[in-house]
Amino acid sequence: MIQTQLILPPEGLIVPCYKPSINGTWPAVVTEDIPRLKSALAECAAQADEYLKWRTPESPQ
């Protein structure tokens, strides 16, 4: 008989990503990187948030 097991990582290994706010005066070259940094952080945070919501469906949305 074939059985499928769903093995999840421990909850402590998946945590929400830190999303720093970017404030202050930046050199012109660095300002081109800020949108990419924010996009990457938002994507990471969305993946972690989706997993955490899926893992604990009883938590408030």
Mean pLDDT by 10 residues, the chain (61 residues): 83 72 67 80 83 69 49
Structure confidence at residue 22 (pLDDT):
67
Say what the pLDDT of residue 38 is: 83
The Cβ of residue 41 has, within 10 Å, a number of other Cβ atoms equal to 15
Taking CA atoms, 56 is separated from 38, 50, 51, in Å, by 27, 10, 9
Q: Using the Cα atoms of residue 50, residue 53, residue 57 and residue 61 in order, give the sign of their dihedral.
A: negative
DSSP 26-52: --HHHHTTHHHHHHHHHHHHHHHHHHH
